[in-house]
Structure formats: structure tokens, C-alpha cells
Amino acid sequence: MERLQKVIANAGITSRRKAENFIEDGRVKVNGKVVRELGTKVSHRDAVQVDDILIDKEEPVYYLLYKPKQVISAVSDDKNRKVVTDYFEDVNARIFPIGRLDYDTSGLLLLTNDGEFANMMMHPKNKIYKTYIAKVEGKPTKEEIESLKRGIELEGIKTAPAKARVKSTTKKTNSSIIEISIHEGRNHQVRKMFEAIGHPVIKLKREKYDQLTLGNLKPGEKRELKPIEVKKLKESAVT
């Protein structure tokens, strides 16, 4: 038995909090009857409807994908470009990406059909750190790296403090490799942060998501998360 709002969230319809609003507003039915009580629990045998549409109660699944460049972090694209769910044609669950990686950014991306888990991972207050390796133009000074750590003002809003360090520099190409970790998810944030300090990104890859790494995966490959990995991610979100 699970709480009704969690079942709705796990179906990927909306977040758990919005599901609670749906219940209170009388938009949810269980076995044909409107239910407004948030503590209601249902089993897999119960028929749950949201706005009179029957939902499928899938078992939650969690995947890690090594997203290649030039792939859209979405379930579909109106320009018929390749999307991340194209790599999951063998998976029957209705999964979706947790957050996104830019079209030209490669690396670690999580996908799930668990709406509550996805919201937990993306909520800024939970401070789930994502680590990127950026190849940038030029060689950032120590002060420029410190400014990334303190936070950069982007479009009138200061970013949260980041973790950043120079891994290497190459005089021949006048470029540097920087490791940076952030827990926010603003649009093109890492690229904009480096542009703000005068060192545009040449290449960007996400290598870590909290404690998760790409391991031996190659671009386009995926694996299912282990239960202990899901448990640790949830623990990171509440600590």
C-alpha cells in the first residue's frame, strides 16, 4: 500500500506536492469515487484516475545514461533530433530525464519514471552536487577561480558557491581543463559562469552526479541504478 499522492507522482503525471493539490481539489478518483483525503493509501489493485484518466501504476525504475553530444535531454523533439529516451527503446516504463544536459554537453544523466524522486534530485534546497569537466579558452587566474567558488552574478542573480579547480593547462592551444561542481540547475549555467569570467567553454562533460560516476560506460550506453545507489541519492537529498 502506498500513499495516493506518491502513486500519482510515480506515474510521472506531476510532483507529489501538486498531486496533493489535485486530491484536495477533487480531481482524483479511486475505484470511481472522488478522494480528497491526503492520507489515503492504495494498492496495485486500485484504479486511480486523475481528471477521469486512468493512470498506470508502474514500478519505479532508475537509470544512468552516458549522454552523447548533440542529443536532446527530452522524451521527444519537434525537430526530430535524437533524444535521450531513444536509448531506452528496450525499456517499457515511461521514463523521463531528471533535469537536462545541454545539446552540446555530454556525460552523466539520470532518467526515471519516479516523479517524486526526480523532484527530490532537482530541488535546489537539497544541494545535490553535479561535477563537470570543462575545457575552456585561456588560463583562468586564481582570482577568477575564486570568483566561481564565491558565486557569479548571472542575469542579476548570484549563483550559489561552487567547487572549482584547474586540472591542467595547455600553452599550445591556449586552453585549460577545469573541474567544477554545482548544485543548481539554471539553463546553461556552467557555460555562462565561464563566459562571465572571460573563459568560454570549448567542451563540457558531466562526470559525476552526487556519488555516481560514469564508470566504464561509453557514450550512448546506460545501466540501471542499484537499490543502494538510489538509497544514497535520497539520503544526500535530505542531509
- The residues that are catalytic are 102
Closest CA to 238 of 135, 126, 100: 126
Contact 219, 87 (CB under 8 A): no
Strand order in the sheet with 33-34: 33-34, 28-30, 48-50, 53-54
The radius of gyration of the chain's CA atoms, rounded to the nearest angstrom, is 20
- Give the N- to C-terminal CA distance of the chain in Å, as an integer: 27
DSSP character at residue 226 = P
Q: Could you give the CA distance from residue 155 to residue 137 in angstroms, rounded to a whole number?
A: 22
Q: Could you give the CA distance from residue 69 to residue 106 in angstroms, rounded to a whole number?
A: 5
Question: Angle between the 227-238 and 115-122 helix axes, to the nearest 10 degrees?
Answer: 50
Q: Is 230 helix (H, G, I), strand (E, B) or coil?
A: helix
CA 10 vs CA 95, 113, 168, 220: distances in Å: 10, 6, 43, 25
Q: Could you give the CA distance from residue 192 to residue 108 in angstroms, rounded to a whole number?
A: 20
Contact 222, 212 (CB under 8 A): no
